């Protein structure tokens, strides 16, 4: 019945009959090229990426440019729409060819309404009607989700998570977030905030987090925490290398710590290991709970050095149930910048297929 | 296509056409009474429960009797099969009317093979072919899962979890386990051990668990831990009430602690609160991760007093993200003994529908 409706809607076409295996013969199905284009928008804290893909998931063209979500929704979304128009024109297409739009944003999204709820790093976006912002140009449904969920979809479609049904994607950057693929599907939970692992408490006596609670994973292990610990090390004169960079620039970044560690700085290495241990501790709990076959670690901090991944692995394998880790791999993301737009196009394609069938 | 196959297999029947809403009219479907019976077997550590239900989920008859899984698979499964034959005969049916069999067992099950893997409290069951044990009498597929997953299915079908898409079921008894319903489906993870939350580490310096690790939730908060703390209290003379019962019987149970607490015993209450706090701490992490709308607490320890639930609630609401707990309820199970057979019948019915379609 669903298939019949998709064919009526022009999103599927019959392509002959399958070989008989006894019983009724099945039709072979394909997605027709006339089905239309998918527009993918990936808004980062300081970047806007846009892509066009087929309904089948093939990215046709991808373009990114700097942008600042702090400029507010009107300016940022106008920028994204401008990029989209450029890409469409280059493909000899226009807004009418767009079947569906997927948007990833760096903040918590209420799934039912597609609206951001109190996003900490996006002033002016709280409750802003992102879907409506596309309605003046596009007669297409708009699907919005947070960037980590969208990256998890991307990893599952085209990254190391391809073909795996139970994947945990973890982004470690300015914040820490998770995206859960269970039984082949992205899990959003009852309010759309599933995977929000950055605010799991890892130390009730830890430092105060931007969310107001104490000892959240994010407050103790993400990029700003790594930088703050390094600056303290520099000020106390424990690490001469960190001190030198700190005196030159007046501030340190997680990347500086990674570089110092790669040059053999003991304290830089300890700071990275401490982050890895805390992330690993939370992941061990999630492994016992969800029994994934793969954990993919991405985000800006993921690449500051091998010792982070090594410490995450060692903590997870030590603290999870042996049965749950027997076939578990923990790897770095390989998709990098394209995970977002790939995932946003999956979001849009899955969304429109469900809408047209429903 | 799927619907067509179910009709061919006699598991669905067309029942006229639905009212037109534009487009192709849909058929109304029903499960025919001739589809057959579902057999449900719920093996507890010290009990065997058996039921017959319709494919639609209605329990027709349910019977339980004492049994000990330590007697080994042949004796226990023969007992269950004997009970099943009795129930079938009473319904004027026989083994040929059984379409599918669902079995819940108190140990970890490898989902693909339906076989127990190193079950701690079931000597002689490791790798035993439970499915094959039914093959001499029944020409029906057998689906095996662990008791907590099966209870979660039961709560979702007929208990307080009915109609909720994101439910966490937690059983606190001799052990601690979880069953995860996400997006309407039971989640088993890649190896079938999702939900195994009893061995999440809550204190790296805690007591040694039966699994060999230190400070597992189960080792610190389940019934034996509650009893052990109470016995220590009694021996140290801290609680006169616990000491009195201990001297009478030479041992204490979690139930004794619950009774002492309900009579106002300070130390008994503290022991229960400590268990609730530790369970709540793990659940807070799961709430941030999975964003369920409902947590159902069941098992023998769940009912030892209101203070356990109160402490679980207070810890979860304090330590989870506010967005994740905005619409979260935490309640006690109301199904009690029938959760297992209800869930086993859901397991069997879902299994056979998938098999016949596949």
Q: Residues A28-57: what's their mean pLDDT?
A: 84
DSSP letter for each residue of A100-119: EEEEEESS-EETTTTEE-S-
What pLDDT is attached to residue A64? 93
The 10s digit of each residue's pLDDT in A282-298 is: 999 999 999 999 999 99
φ and ψ of A51, to 5 deg: -145, 160
pLDDT at A1 over 50: no
Chain B touched by A3 (CB under 8 Å): yes
User: Which positions 156-195 of B are in contact with A (Cβ < 8 Å)?
Assistant: 164-166, 178, 180, 182-183, 185, 187-195
CA nearest neighbour of B35 among B3, B67, B7: B7
> What pLDDT score was predicted for residue B120?
77
- The predicted model gives A126-138 an average pLDDT of 95
Average pLDDT over residues A201-215: 90
Phi, psi of A46 (to 5 degrees): -130, 25
Domain locations in chain B?
1-35, 36-154+338-357, 162-332
Q: Is B343 helix (H, G, I), strand (E, B) or coil?
A: helix
Q: Chain A 255-314, CB below 8 Å of chain B: which residues?
A: 282, 284-286, 288-293
- pLDDT of A117 over the 90 cut: no
Mean pLDDT calculated for residue range A95-102: 95
Contact B281, B201 (CB under 8 A): no
For chain B, the residue count is: 358
Question: How far is the CA of B318 from the CAs of A34, B277, B286, B321, B324, in angstroms?
Answer: 53, 11, 14, 8, 11
- CATH ID of A36-154+338-357, from 3.40.30.10, 3.40.50.300, 3.30.420.40, 2.30.30.100: 3.30.420.40
Burial (CB < 10 A; 0-12, 13-18, 19+), residue A18, is exposed
Buried-state track B80-95, b at ≥16 Cβ within 10 A, e below 16: bbebbeebbeeeeeeb
The rounded distance, in Å, linking the Cα atoms of A297 and A328 is 13
* A162-332 has the same fold as A36-154+338-357: yes
Instruction: Give the pLDDT band of residue A30 (cuts 50, 70, 90).
Output: low
pLDDT of residue B321: 79
- Complex ipTM, two decimals? 0.85
Q: What pLDDT sits at residue A323? A: 79
Instruction: Tell me the C-alpha distance between A295 and A342, whole Å.
Output: 18
**Among candidate residues A234, A320, A313, A325, the one with its CA nearest the CA of residue A271:** A234
Q: Are strands B167-172 and B294-298 parallel, antiparallel or unpaired?
A: parallel
Closest CB to B193 among A24, A286, A324 = A324
CA distance A42 to A106: 9
**Helix %, strand %, coil % for chain B, to 5?**
45, 20, 35
The CATH class of B162-332 is alpha beta
pLDDT tens track, chain B, 358 positions? 466 666 666 666 666 666 655 555 666 666 555 568 999 999 988 899 999 999 888 899 999 999 899 999 999 999 999 999 999 999 899 999 999 999 999 988 988 899 998 887 888 999 999 999 999 999 999 999 999 999 999 999 999 999 999 999 999 998 999 999 999 999 999 988 999 999 999 998 999 998 888 999 999 999 999 999 999 999 999 999 999 999 999 999 999 999 999 999 999 999 999 999 999 999 999 999 999 999 999 998 998 888 999 999 999 999 887 778 889 999 999 887 799 999 999 999 999 888 765 4
DSSP state string for B297-316? EESGGGGS-HHHHHHHHHHH
A159-186 residue pLDDT tens: 999 999 999 999 999 899 999 999 999 9
- Residue A15's pLDDT is what? 65
Give alpha helix (H) positions in A159-196: none
A185 forms beta bridges with: A182
Q: Is B338 helix (H, G, I), strand (E, B) or coil?
A: helix
Q: How confident is the model at residue A324, as a pLDDT? A: 85
Q: Which of B286, B321, B327 sits opposite A199 (nearest CB)?
A: B321
Strand-pair partners of B37: B54, B98
Neighbours of B310 (CB within 10 A): 15
User: Hey, of A7, A191, A203, A294, which one would you mutate to test binding to chain B, going by the most B CBs within 10 A of its CB?
Assistant: A191
Any A CB within 8 A of B358 CB? no
Sign of the torsion angle spanned by Cα atoms B55, B59, B63, B64: positive
Who contacts A273 (Cβ-Cβ below 8 Å, separation ≥6)? A307, A308, A311
Range 122-161 of B in CB contact (< 8 A) with A? none
Please state the pTM of the whole predicted model: 0.88
Spatial distance between the Cα atoms of B324 and A178, rounded to a whole number of angstroms: 14
Q: Which of A199, A103, A100 is nearest to A147 (CA)?
A: A103
């Amino acid at each position: 019945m669903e298939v019949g409706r998709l064919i009526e809607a022009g999103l599927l076409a019959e392509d002959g009959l399958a070989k008989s295996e006894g019983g009724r013969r099945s039709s072979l199905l394909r997605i027709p090229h006339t089905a239309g284009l998918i527009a993918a928008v990936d808004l980062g804290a300081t970047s806007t990426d846009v892509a066009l893909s087929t309904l089948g998931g093939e990215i046709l063209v991808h373009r990114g440019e700097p942008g600042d979500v702090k400029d507010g929704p009107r300016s940022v979304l106008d920028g994204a729409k401008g990029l989209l128009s450029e890409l469409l024109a280059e493909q000899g297409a226009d807004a009418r060819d767009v079947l569906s739009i997927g948007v990833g944003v760096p903040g918590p999204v209420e799934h039912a309404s597609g609206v951001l709820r109190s996003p900490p790093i996006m002033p002016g976006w709280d409750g802003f009607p992102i879907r409506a912002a596309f309605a003046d140009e596009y007669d297409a449904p708009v699907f919005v989700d947070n960037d980590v969920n969208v990256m998890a979809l991307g990893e599952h479609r085209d990254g190391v998570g391809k073909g795996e049904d139970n994947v945990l994607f973890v982004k470690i950057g300015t914040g820490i977030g998770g995206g859960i693929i269970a039984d082949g599907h992205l899990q959003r939970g009852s309010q759309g905030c599933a995977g929000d692992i950055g605010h799991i408490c890892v130390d009730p006596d830890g430092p105060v987090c931007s969310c107001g609670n104490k000892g959240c994973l994010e407050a103790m292990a993400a990029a700003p925490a790594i930088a703050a610990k390094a600056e303290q090390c520099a000020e106390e004169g424990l690490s001469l290398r960190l001190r030198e960079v700190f005196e030159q620039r007046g501030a340190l970044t997680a990347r500086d710590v990674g570089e110092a560690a790669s040059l053999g700085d003991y304290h830089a290495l300890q700071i990275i290991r401490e982050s890895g241990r805390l992330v690993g501790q939370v992941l061990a709990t999630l492994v016992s709970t969800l029994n994934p076959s793969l954990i993919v670690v991405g985000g800006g901090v993921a690449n500051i050095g091998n010792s982070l991944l090594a410490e995450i692995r060692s903590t997870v394998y030590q603290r999870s149930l042996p049965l749950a880790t027997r076939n578990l791999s923990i790897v770095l993301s390989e998709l990098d910048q394209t995970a977002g737009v790939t995932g946003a196009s999956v979001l849009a394609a899955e969304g429109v297929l469900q809408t047209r069938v429903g």
